[in-house]
Amino acid sequence: MAALKGRNLLSLADLTTDEITHLLAIAAQIKSGEINPQCPQKILGLVFKKASTRTRVSFSAAMYKLGGQVIDLNANLTQIGRGEPTADTARVLDRYLDVLAIRTYEQAEVEAFAHHAQIPVINALTDLEHPCQILADLLTVQEEFGSCEGLTMTYLGDGNNVAHSLILGCALVGMNVRVATPLSYEPDAAILEKAKAISQGRSEVVITNDPKAGLEGSHVLYTDVWASMGQEDFADTRIPVFEPYRINQAALELADPKVIVLHCLPAHRGEEITEEVMEGDRSRIWNQAENRMHAQQALLAEVLGAT
Ligand code: CP
Ligand code: NVA
């Protein structure tokens, strides 16, 4: 199966159930050492307009493990930071690179890069989605439970980029997803429609403002920061609104006894998650962070046609 060769990953909804299942299987095989696909001489470009530790380093490490090279196109050291039109940048980078990963604000910008470049373009986080994160998250769930299908994921907090891709990812793999946010912080309605269209009743998508409603019997509790990059000015005013949505020991006790806890990181201990839960025995957060690299190695190998 080489269905992803040459493809973009702008939204998790760009993948079918078969494709994401295949990608997760390749990631698991790469992680276990069963396969070692190689893309020598291929070059990955990174255009990151927001800070990043995990995504930047795990993409770079993944590309080096594939035998390829990475060019970091720091916006401030290129003409990107001086406002060269995306259409021009994309057409030029297309001539030098084999694959491009972009972290920026507007989803429309990654779409514009993809429109103007022939090479695969990967969304490394926008305000709307974070698809690569969810590949690693689902790999972590699969490792823990053997399969994602039929399980229940509960996300507490802001209906943000991570929540959006998580909702789509759960729908793709047949996981029930319950999202509890404060009033006015619910996920995007268009994402919910897409998720419902993908799942076609195979799994549930529940949105609630009750922080406890989604916990019972849940297999995975997930949270993310209450103020994302670009929203720092609102961080303090959000704290009292979001406090009931914190993942703490009491929340864990309402979930399934085998529940695991995930967080995409970086975390604000004492805000969206307690120190005790982060460092506790149900946390799989460090494996999850490691899995960014394995999942992205699989993704790069696939889009470069190396598997
Ligand atoms: N989870 C994640 O994307 O982390 P970074 O912002 O460090 O890349
Ligand atoms: N929602 C967070 C995720 C960081 C990986 C943000 O966009 O800042």
Q: Give SS3 for 66.
A: coil
Domain boundaries, the chain: 2-129+292-303, 131-288
Q: Does residue 303 have its Cβ closer than 6 Å to ligand 2?
A: no
CB 85 within 8 A of CB 116: no
- Would the CATH topology of 2-129+292-303 be identical to that of 131-288? yes
Residue 246 annotated among the catalytic residues of the structure: no
Q: Which atom of ligand 1 is nearest to the CA of 125?
A: 3
257-275 average pLDDT score: 98
Residue 82 annotated among the catalytic residues of the structure: no
CB 114 within 8 A of CB 10: yes
Q: Does residue 229 have its Cβ closer than 6 Å to ligand 2?
A: yes
DSSP line for 118-147: SS-EEES--SS--HHHHHHHHHHHHHHHS-
Upper half-sphere CA count for residue 195 (Cβ side, 13 Å)? 27
> Distance (Å, rounded) from C-alpha 141 to C-alpha 293?
16
Residue 142 annotated among the catalytic residues of the structure: no
- pLDDT band (50, 70, 90) for residue 278: very high
In this prediction, residue 116 carries a pLDDT of 98
> Distance (Å, rounded) from C-alpha 44 to C-alpha 247?
37
| Ligand 1 geometric centre to CA of 201 (Å) | 32
- pLDDT band (50, 70, 90) for residue 2: low
Q: Does residue 55 have its Cβ closer than 6 Å to ligand 1?
A: yes
> Distance (Å, rounded) from C-alpha 213 to C-alpha 207?
10
Pairing mode, strands 220-223 and 152-156: parallel
- pLDDT band (50, 70, 90) for residue 19: very high
| Ligand 1 geometric centre to CA of 266 (Å) | 7
CATH of domain 2-129+292-303: 3.40.50.1370
Question: For residue range 88-147, what is the model confidence (pLDDT) as tens digits?
Answer: 999 999 999 999 999 999 999 999 999 999 999 999 999 999 999 999 999 999 999 999
Q: Which atom of ligand 1 is nearest to the CA of 103?
A: 8
The ligand placed nearest to the CA atom of residue 132 is: 1
Question: For residue range 76-91, what is the model confidence (pLDDT) as tens digits?
Answer: 899 999 999 999 999 9
- pLDDT band (50, 70, 90) for residue 307: confident
Q: Is pLDDT of 207 > 60?
A: yes
Residue 231 φ/ψ region, left for φ over 0, alpha for ψ in the -120 to 50 degree band, beta for the rest: alpha
CATH of 131-288, one of 3.40.50.880, 3.10.350.10, 3.40.50.1370, 3.20.20.70: 3.40.50.1370
183-203 average pLDDT score: 97
**Which is the catalytic residue, given 103, 178, 282, 284?**
103
Residue 210 annotated among the catalytic residues of the structure: no
**Which is the catalytic residue, given 142, 164, 264, 288?**
264
Q: Is pLDDT of 45 > 70?
A: yes
| Ligand 2 geometric centre to CA of 210 (Å) | 23
Of 136, 161, 145, 154, the C-alpha closest to 285 is 136
Cα 79–chain centre separation: 28
